Amino acid sequence: MLNNLREIHSCEVCGSSEMATVLNLGLHPLCDDLIPIGQQRVCDTYPIEILFCSECNTAHQRFQVAKKKLFPNSYHYRSKNTADVLDGMKDFVNTCENKFGKLRHSKVIDIGCNDGSLLNFFREKGSQTYGIEPTDAYQDAAMEGHAVINAYLTQEVAQKFVREYGHADIITFTNVFAHIEDLEELLKSIKVLRQPNTSIVIENHYLGSILERKQFDTFYHEHPRTYSCKSFIQVAKKLGMTVDSVEFPRRYGGNIRVFMRPARGMEKLSDHQKDIIKNENSSFMQAFKDLASYINRWRVGKKAEILTAVKVHGPLLAKAFPGRAAIPIQMLDIDHNSIKAAYEKPGSQKINHWIPGTRIPIMSDIHLLADNCGESPILNLAWHIDDEINTYLRNLGYTGRLINII
């Protein structure tokens, strides 16, 4: 279904028209289109086709879904439910303190603040904490005591923020920058929020890690763009800023974290940045070809592995439902005949919904071990944080085999 789609023809980061199709994953439901159990509505599906700009090493969704369709008011994701995310946020704030010095009294604005988890860590350092969040997750952040504007970031919203609270000392984006629909509007809005000494810190999935670790499920509709180091250097130039340093945290299977500061005249890239870009330029196109070949092999092998386990044990139970898991489930064409249910931590907004595109229910963990008769294998849908999932299940007393979906 091609409603609510915008097709792009040139790079939204650098403007190049030299865009190559590097991956086509087919039609998929939106990962947050969670239908309540019992309702018979069928999810609409949208194409996932990836274009690559070799000028700035940015990957794009060719067909981009409107943000209000992707991020409805009733958004189900909450940062506080994933230990890996919280650990990464704590490290993020500690690194900011190492970079900028004491954060006490610093005015921090987190764009796409979700439930306020990152802001909680900044507040522990004595920062003044503010957020901008378009979904109902803003209520969680507000209840934590942060000042939050419930809106998408636009120039108008930025102007309202400055009138009410003043300019920012630090502007943060944690796994949000990839979700931005209108990049140019965002950059203009940032210019409104900042003052001459404002720093910007962005952490996001890194295209290099995605390709290296074959994380093709990261290319879901909510990510209209996936960035490289070279991408962010171009973004910084558009802002009149420079990338001061680059780090690669392990969070989400491999992120990139960039620290931007105001540019001081013509600045050269550091040797570290030059080395990163050299590697990106020489490896990314071939890595996309390798990924396409891998996906074909994975699809055959993983489906056989799951069906063999089902033949022995009956329909499997699955642990967690990160939205990205909707992609491999769809590509494997598995349903409730193969997966009895997926289980989320108690309190998750996803509980009592179907996994998008299926009639596989999402249930509470309180039923997980009771429903797992004996030591049947459990299918791990959150394979990118398999250490966390494995530890969690072992602590619950599970001693069986964990099958990662990828």
297/179 same-domain check: no
In a domain, 306, yes or no: yes
pTM above 0.85, yes or no: yes
Question: What does the alpha-carbon distance between residue 406 and residue 404 come to, in Å, rounded to a whole number?
Answer: 5
Question: What does the alpha-carbon distance between residue 315 and residue 335 come to, in Å, rounded to a whole number?
Answer: 9
Question: What does the alpha-carbon distance between residue 14 and residue 125 come to, in Å, rounded to a whole number?
Answer: 37
Residues 6 or more apart in contact with residue 343 via CB below 8 angstroms: 317, 318, 319, 320, 362, 363, 364, 365, 367, 368
To 5 degrees, how large is the angle CA 393–CA 396–CA 401? Answer: 40
294/229 same-domain check: no
Domain count within the chain: 2
Question: What does the alpha-carbon distance between residue 320 and residue 362 come to, in Å, rounded to a whole number?
Answer: 8
Query: Do residues 193 and 109 lie in contact, with contact meaning Cβ atoms separated by under 8 Å?
Result: yes
Handedness of CA 261, 54, 185, 222 (dihedral sign): negative
293/252 same-domain check: no
241/377 same-domain check: no
In a domain, 244, yes or no: yes
Query: Do residues 31 and 323 lie in contact, with contact meaning Cβ atoms separated by under 8 Å?
Result: yes
175/214 same-domain check: yes
248/153 same-domain check: yes
In a domain, 323, yes or no: yes
pLDDT tens for each residue of the chain, 406 residues long: 456 799 999 999 999 999 999 999 999 999 999 999 999 999 999 999 999 999 999 999 999 999 888 887 788 889 998 888 999 999 999 999 999 999 999 999 999 999 999 999 999 999 999 999 999 999 999 999 999 999 999 999 999 999 999 999 999 999 999 999 999 999 999 999 999 999 999 999 999 999 999 999 999 999 999 999 999 999 999 999 999 999 999 877 789 999 999 998 778 899 999 999 999 999 999 999 999 999 999 999 999 999 999 999 999 999 999 999 999 999 999 999 999 999 999 989 999 999 999 999 999 998 887 766 667 999 999 999 999 999 999 988 888 999 999 9
Q: Parallel, antiparallel, or unpaired for β 58-61 and 225-226?
A: antiparallel
Handedness of CA 231, 59, 44, 383 (dihedral sign): negative
Range of the domain at 298: 289-404
Matching residue, tokens 């891998």? 294
Tokens encoding 382: 């959150």
Q: Which of 262, 281, 304 is the last residue of a domain?
A: 262
CA quadruple 238, 200, 191, 226: dihedral, nearest 10:
50
Question: What does the alpha-carbon distance between residue 350 and residue 361 come to, in Å, rounded to a whole number?
Answer: 10
In a domain, 25, yes or no: no
CATH code for the domain of 181? 3.40.50.150
